[in-house]
Amino acid sequence: MTNQKAVREDGFLYLHNLKTMMTGRLFCARVLTTWLCCLSTAVAAVNTAKLPRTSDSITIDGVLDEIAWQQATRIDLDFEIEPGENIPARVKTIAYVVEDGTNLYIAFDSRDPQPDQIRAYLRDRDSAWNDDYVGIGLDTYNDELRAFEFYANPLGVQMDATYDDVNSRYDDSWDAIWDAAGAISEHGYIVEIEIPLNQLRFPQTDGMQTWGISLSRYYPRDRSYRFGYTIDDRSRNCYLCDFGKISGLEDADPGRNLEIVPTLTSTQTDSTDDPGVTPLQSGDTDTEAGVSIRWGITQDMTVNLALNPDFSQVEADVAQLDVNNQFALFYPEKRPFFLEGADYFSTPIEAVFTRTVADPDAGVKLTGKRGNHTYGVFAAQDAITNLVFPGAFGSDATSLEESNDAFVGRYNWGFSDASTVGALLTSRSGEDYKNTVGGFDLRWKMNDQNNFRAQYLKSDTEYPEQLAIDFGQPLGSFSGEGVYAGYEYESRNWFAAMEHLHLDAGFRADAGFAPQVDIEVQKASGGYKWHGTPDDWWSSMQVRTGWEMAHDDSGQVIDRKLEAGFAITGPLQSVFEVVVDTGAVLWDDVLYDQEKMRVFAAFQPRSGLALRIFMRYGDQVDFANSRPGKELRLRQSFEWNMNQHLLLRLQTTLASLDTEQGEQIFNAAVYDLRLTWQFNRRSFLRLTTQYQDIDRNVSLYIDEVDAKTRNFGQELLFSYKINPQTVFFLGYSNQQFEDDELNSLEETDRTLFMKVGYAWTP
């Protein structure tokens, strides 16, 4: 899926997908020819394609030699959706779709006059987004609310995702069990895809099904092109409303839709509490068995059960720099149990963040959709209670070795044209501790350009008395409210948005992620987009401006900002953006004026090579010492496919903060290097190295700090995946640490771990 939305990163705007808003040479040279082509596409998009059924078998091998493909419906991807605006595609792509009552089959015959230019690398699942690839999107309820998407590159590397059009949320962490294969030839490449119907959710009805369908081919060259079989109306602020329709699957039988996944995890850790003095002490081997069960009770209702589940992560999170930060860092969810139906629980205020469930002994989840009604429930018994104590100017955190019972319930009712009314209830409770959050939300799609969203939540919380005293929290039971309202307008050229958020001082969302409360925020932004012509060297441009004001509950200004930005896309799949802003930030009762400039650039100069750079420079408060400073922050990512098997990824963040007189307060760096040898589509060996180095000028600090701290860690991981649930992992990791007392890096722990999981489908 590709959209033209933008997302924020460190307060600046950049294009989320380099495949959007670019243009190239025009195949229909005459305006009249182009107009006729677009008109014929618009008429074709109204029609519903037929999804035939076959009784012949299909082998997924990248070769279209089965009789069943002769019975399939042929769909030509005749139109360039990006960067050209619904003009004839520059290369030929033919899709074939057919089903057998149990599986949906899709094949793509992707012609290419220059097959040596095809970009295809062996990669881990969900990692080939910079390659050539083809795929299908399925709006199985035909309600323009959410879609399942399945893609594969020319070597059959699989990528899948869900898209939630209600929340504009694209989630490629979702994984289904399906199959794909690809083969490159002198004429281009072939991809075959098999999707078991039991991996999808769709209405339980008699007779024919009608689904929304999108067929796409991504063609990265000097620009990143997307071809489809229906037009993309840029004047409409939605994605699923541009899908075509397909009808079939009469009385389809998806099978028993039962997956039982036993797992076995074994870990052995050597550690020391006094590095550099006491050697590592050998720990016991901890071996645990667990089981996860996924049962599709019906086509539109699924239950997940996990007993003594292994919710450990086999790979380290990407390293982040935690220095001169006010609030807790965010790390995304990666555990399969919580990713199933995750979009069902999404709301404007992030009241559900499943990484708060740290070490559950058991968990159960039910998600489903019946007609206009969508619902989700999950409950877990967690052996550890992780808590975040939010405030207006910062957040604290702690972890209690005490259990808690967690519950989340979510309901949505759809009405009109892709509009919804929802309710949410979350609860966490333990010994002398409770947190309950409940409320309602609305998404009103007024028309194709205008959307309005709102949410109201109320929380009730009580902490253990000593914990409340230690962290400065209210004693006894207390409550708080959260309110959100947002309006968005987007057309082909103009865009605008307004937001209001109020989280009062007593609001707590312990099952979610709300690290800042006692705050009321108003935002307004808008801008204009230009789309290039085939004769322009650039593909798209946009200008934007934004205003933001934040107060605490007493009305005191916390933050204000006025910004303006310019972005352009062009050759080499490039994006460049610059944003300047002026404003002020309150800290320790002093309002500090601030002026900043942010720059983002990204490009792919050749096949297999991608670079991104972000730079921020300007005024920044020194939060540790309550004074103004000057900050330079540089973040870059570098991705290089050295050959078809070997991938190098490097992410670096550098930050320095000086006083206004030019004295350096601190200098910090964090590096995350990952070197992967991909044996084939199913297995890889990856070495991850993470290093953090912070130097501080202790004479400029109010409190005592270490002049130097360093962290160094490595992980070697072997992975073999038949599918997302049938897996084998074997890994080794170690950690080293240095501060002023140690004077050198000393090993603090080392771990050897193994995990086996098997998806059994009786």
pLDDT tens profile 192-214: 999 999 899 888 788 899 999 99
Q: What is the rounded CA–CA span in Å between residue 290 and residue 288?
A: 7
Largest CA distance in the chain: 81
Q: What is the CA radius of gyration of the chain?
A: 27
Amino acid residing at 373: H
CA distance between the termini of the chain? 33
C-beta atoms surrounding 374 within 10 Å:
26
Facing residues of 600 across strands? 577, 614
Q: Is 268 a member of any domain?
A: no
pLDDT at 23: 32
Q: What is the rounded CA–CA span in Å between residue 196 and residue 178?
A: 6
Q: Coil, helix or strand for 283?
A: strand
Query: What sign does the CA torsion over 505, 167, 203, 193 have?
Result: negative
662: confidence class by pLDDT, cuts 50, 70, 90: very high
Place of tokens 């000028």: 697
**pLDDT digit string (tens) for 118-141?**
999 999 999 999 999 999 999 999
Q: What is the rounded CA–CA span in Å between residue 441 and residue 452?
A: 11
pLDDT at 40: 40
Contacts of 494 (CB under 8 A, 6+ apart): 526, 527, 528, 529
Would you call the peptide bond into 83 cis, given omega within 30 degrees of 0 as the criterion? yes
C-beta atoms surrounding 743 within 10 Å:
10
Q: What is the rounded CA–CA span in Å between residue 100 and residue 136?
A: 18
In eight-state DSSP terms, residue 276 is T
In eight-state DSSP terms, residue 341 is T
Average pLDDT over residues 746-756: 93
| pLDDT above 80: residue 605 | yes
Would you call the peptide bond into 390 cis, given omega within 30 degrees of 0 as the criterion? no
Query: Which structure tokens are listed for 307?
Result: 């007993």
Query: Which structure tokens are listed for 591?
Result: 């309002």
Q: Is 697 a member of any domain?
A: no
Contacts of 715 (CB under 8 A, 6+ apart): 315, 316, 686, 687, 688, 731, 732, 733
Q: What is the rounded CA–CA span in Å between residue 235 and residue 232?
A: 9
Q: Is 417 a member of any domain?
A: no
Query: Which structure tokens are listed for 8?
Result: 């924020």
**pLDDT digit string (tens) for 623-654?**
999 999 999 999 999 999 999 999 999 999 99
Q: pTM for this structure?
A: 0.85
Q: Which of 78, 77, 84, 79 is nearest to 20 (CA)?
A: 84
Q: Is 527 a member of any domain?
A: no
pLDDT at 37: 42
DSSP string, 607-640: TTEEEEEEEEEEEEEETTTTEEEEEEEEEEEEEE
Q: What's the helix, strand, coil split of the chain in %, to 5?
A: 5, 55, 35
Q: Cα 370 vs. chain centroid, distance in angstroms?
A: 27
Indicate left, alpha or beta for 154 from its phi (over 0: left) and psi (-120 to 50: alpha).
alpha
Query: Which structure tokens are listed for 449?
Result: 């350009």
Query: What sign does the CA torsion over 509, 510, 513, 519 have?
Result: positive
Contacts of 743 (CB under 8 A, 6+ apart): none
Q: Is 170 a member of any domain?
A: yes
Contacts of 315 (CB under 8 A, 6+ apart): 334, 686, 688, 715, 717
Tell me what the pLDDT averaged over the chain comes to.
Answer: 88
Q: Cα separations (Å) of 503 from 146, 164, 360, 484, 512?
A: 29, 25, 29, 9, 13
Q: Coil, helix or strand for 334?
A: coil
| pLDDT above 80: residue 77 | yes
**Overall size of the chain counted in residues:** 762
Q: Which of 278, 113, 297, 133 is nearest to 201 (CA)?
A: 297
601: confidence class by pLDDT, cuts 50, 70, 90: very high
Contacts of 167 (CB under 8 A, 6+ apart): 343, 346, 347, 348, 443
C-beta atoms surrounding 541 within 10 Å:
17
Average pLDDT over residues 347-359: 87
Domain that holds residue 244: 6-248
Q: Is 701 a member of any domain?
A: no
| pLDDT above 60: residue 41 | no
| pLDDT above 50: residue 723 | yes
Q: What is the rounded CA–CA span in Å between residue 496 and residue 690?
A: 40
Q: What is the rounded CA–CA span in Å between residue 28 and residue 88?
A: 7
Task: Answer for the pair 22, 569: CB distance below 8 angstroms, yes or no.
Answer: yes
Q: What is the rounded CA–CA span in Å between residue 57 and residue 194?
A: 11
Q: Is 678 a member of any domain?
A: no
Q: What is the rounded CA–CA span in Å between residue 147 and residue 85?
A: 23
Find the CATH number of the domain harbouring 98: 2.60.40.1190
173: confidence class by pLDDT, cuts 50, 70, 90: confident
Facing residues of 9 across strands? 12
**pLDDT digit string (tens) for 537-563?**
899 999 999 999 999 988 899 999 999
Average pLDDT over residues 37-64: 74
**pLDDT digit string (tens) for 472-520?**
999 999 999 999 999 999 999 999 999 999 999 999 999 998 999 999 9
16: confidence class by pLDDT, cuts 50, 70, 90: very low
pLDDT at 313: 60
Q: Which of 99, 92, 141, 169 is nearest to 245 (CA)?
A: 141
Indicate left, alpha or beta for 378 from its phi (over 0: left) and psi (-120 to 50: alpha).
beta
Contacts of 329 (CB under 8 A, 6+ apart): 320, 322
Query: Which structure tokens are listed for 590?
Result: 């002093």
**pLDDT digit string (tens) for 243-294?**
999 999 988 776 667 889 999 999 999 999 888 888 888 888 989 898 989 8
| pLDDT above 60: residue 46 | no
Q: Coil, helix or strand for 692?
A: strand
311: confidence class by pLDDT, cuts 50, 70, 90: low
Q: What is the rounded CA–CA span in Å between residue 107 and residue 94?
A: 8
Q: Is 435 a member of any domain?
A: no
C-beta atoms surrounding 386 within 10 Å:
17
Q: Which of 487, 209, 160 is nearest to 348 (CA)?
A: 487
Q: Which of 541, 528, 533, 529 is nearest to 568 (CA)?
A: 541
Task: Answer for the pair 186, 171: CB distance below 8 angstroms, yes or no.
Answer: no
Q: Which of 672, 676, 674 is nearest to 690 (CA)?
A: 672
Kindly tell me the burial class for residue 323, based on how many C-beta atoms sit within 10 Å of its own C-beta (0-12, 13-18, 19 or more): middle
Of all residues in the chain, what percent carry a pLDDT higher than 90?
A: 68
Query: Which structure tokens are listed for 603?
Result: 């490009």
Place of tokens 């002023």: 740
Q: What are the backbone angles phi and psi of residue 488, rounded to the nearest 5°? A: -135, 135
Query: Which structure tokens are listed for 451?
Result: 């959307």
- Which of 300-304, 325-329, 491-495 shows the lowest per-residue confidence on average (mean pLDDT)? 325-329
pLDDT at 394: 84
Total tally of structural domains belonging to the chain: 1
Query: Which structure tokens are listed for 498?
Result: 């307004």
Q: What are the backbone angles phi and psi of residue 44, rounded to the nearest 5°? A: -65, -35
Q: Which span out of 1-10, 12-21, 457-466, 740-749 was modeled with the highest average pLDDT?
A: 457-466
